[in-house]
Amino acid sequence: MTAPLEALALARRITEQAYKAGASLVTTLFVDDEATLLRFRYASDTMFDRAPEWFYNGLAAAYASGTARLAITGSNPALLANEEPAKVARANVAMSKASRPALELIARHEINWTIVPSATPAWAKLVFPNESEQDAMSHLWDGIFAATRANASDPVAAWKKHTTALERRVDILNGKRYSALHFRGPGTDLRVGLADDHLWLGGATMSRNGIRCIPNMPTEEVFTTPHKDRVDGVVRSTKPLSYQGALIENIEVRFERGSVVEARSTQGEQVLRGMLDTDEGARKLGEVALVPHSSPVAASGILYWNTLFDENAASHIALGQAYSTCMRNSDSLSTEERFARGANESLIHVDWMIGSGEVDVDGINADRSSEPVMRRGEWV
């Protein structure tokens, strides 16, 4: 388990329940935002291309031996907003490279994993800037409990019903076999080709160690693999993105034959460019996901500055690594075979939001005919 220091109370509750549920050993690695800041403030400028490889390789070794992974998210989304963008970008690239082996095992769902939120003071104050810390924390917890269905009278039953509904949607989309999706809205006219043999997923996942898990809580998305070379057009982000502590706002991007060829943003542009320069695959899409504008997270009207929430409030795309499980018969395909079918490869996987109540989505069939999938952000 990883957790911000400020999420200690939740980490301990999860630890207790994990042991009661049969865990043999729960190891929690706490992240101290303050220590990250101290590095940016005091470390020599030459030092930002280093990452703790031993640590990420250790995580990969743990996953390879079947260890479950739980991440508590809640660090300050704006932690590095005032740090030098070039240094932030370099630190992120180093971290992405070091964590690649571990991320690959996660992306392949070799083990059961999940990401859950904890309110923290810095995050709460960013979401509710005009409230006292105490009120902001209380309101953020309210939002978390609602979005994660923890406040349902029977949360487990509520999750079963919810994942069943997502799986029904997945089944419909998998029956369609669209060759592409077409997004249209203010600043957006984007055609996202889907990978050959693409598979829609959503809700719970059966991991390769045989344990069924819900990788994100909350989760409202159904998602699949775009074709890395078949994305064309322009797209405008509909929510700000918090990427590794930096804020990137009002992204506008143009794709040609799969790759980002133009990119700008009104804030965080240098971090955005650093992200795009991580590797060749960082300019291509690895995921496309559909989320209705009426999802509970979106309906709250709250901007969370946290991908786990905001990606479940709007349809989105992700630059970078594809999920290998989002392809039919993925278990029997090699990396090369998945790549040949259009699944992107990269050190990064960064979701950003392109859906809203003003965005329409069409499904394009193999015969080039099209049909409405979403209108004004809602399922047709």
- DSSP annotation of 375 reads E
Selected binder of a second copy within 10, 54, 113, 193 (CB under 8 A) = 54
* Between 90 and 208, CB nearer to a second copy: 90
Q: Write out the two tokens for 48.
A: 């930002």
Question: With CB under 8 A as the contact rule, which of the stretches 59-67, 127-135, 253-261, 353-361 interacts with a second copy?
Answer: 59-67
Residue 16 in the binding site for a second copy (CB under 8 A): yes
Mark 137-154 as b/e (b = at least 16 C-beta within 10 Å). Answer: bebbbebbebbbbeeeee
The CB-of-123 to a second copy minimum distance in angstroms stands at 19
Residue 157 in the binding site for a second copy (CB under 8 A): no
Q: Write out the two tokens for 13.
A: 């509750």
Residue 26 in the binding site for a second copy (CB under 8 A): yes
- DSSP annotation of 201 reads E
Residue 55 in the binding site for a second copy (CB under 8 A): yes
Residue 35 in the binding site for a second copy (CB under 8 A): yes
Which residues neighbour 247 within 8 Å (Cβ) at sequence distance 6 or greater? 77, 78, 81, 240, 241, 267, 268, 305
Selected binder of a second copy within 7, 58, 83, 280 (CB under 8 A) = 58
* Between 35 and 156, CB nearer to a second copy: 35
Give the whole-angstrom CA distance, residue 337 versus residue 331.
Answer: 11
Selected binder of a second copy within 4, 6, 7, 44 (CB under 8 A) = 44
The CB-of-89 to a second copy minimum distance in angstroms stands at 16
Selected binder of a second copy within 41, 175, 186, 366 (CB under 8 A) = 41
Residue 209 in the binding site for a second copy (CB under 8 A): no
Selected binder of a second copy within 6, 34, 228, 267 (CB under 8 A) = 34
Residue 19 in the binding site for a second copy (CB under 8 A): yes
Residue 27 in the binding site for a second copy (CB under 8 A): yes
Q: At what angle do helices 269-276 and 85-107 cross, to 10 degrees?
A: 40
* Between 65 and 153, CB nearer to a second copy: 65
Q: Write out the two tokens for 203.
A: 């809700």
Size of the site for a second copy (CB under 8 A): 40
Selected binder of a second copy within 2, 65, 76, 221 (CB under 8 A) = 65
The CB-of-8 to a second copy minimum distance in angstroms stands at 7
Site mask for a second copy (CB under 8 A), range 229-268, x = bound:
----------------------------------------
Q: Are 293 and 224 in contact (CB under 8 A)?
A: no
Other Cβ atoms less than 10 A from the Cβ of 83: the count is 18
* Between 49 and 280, CB nearer to a second copy: 49
Q: Write out the two tokens for 241.
A: 């993105």
Give the whole-angstrom CA distance, residue 11 versus residue 129.
Answer: 26
| Residue owning tokens 């957790």 | 3
Count of alpha carbons within 13 angstroms of residue 79, beta-carbon side: 24
Pairing of strands 370-375, 360-364: antiparallel
Question: With CB under 8 A as the contact rule, which of the stretches 3-11, 286-294, 328-336, 344-352 interacts with a second copy?
Answer: 3-11
Q: Which of 325, 323, 340 has the alpha carbon at shortest distance from 287?
A: 323
Give the whole-angstrom CA distance, residue 236 versus residue 250.
Answer: 7
Question: With CB under 8 A as the contact rule, which of the stretches 11-19, 129-137, 167-175, 265-273 interacts with a second copy?
Answer: 11-19
Q: Are 202 and 221 in contact (CB under 8 A)?
A: yes
Residue 5 in the binding site for a second copy (CB under 8 A): yes
Please report which helix (H) or strand (E) contains residue 307, including its range.
helix 307-310
Residue 136: burial class (beta carbons within 10 Å; 0-12, 13-18, 19+): buried
Residues in the chain: 380
The CB-of-130 to a second copy minimum distance in angstroms stands at 30
Q: Which residues bind a second copy (CB under 8 A)?
A: 5, 8, 11-12, 15-16, 19-20, 22-30, 32, 34-35, 38-39, 41-44, 47, 50-55, 57-59, 61-62, 65, 67
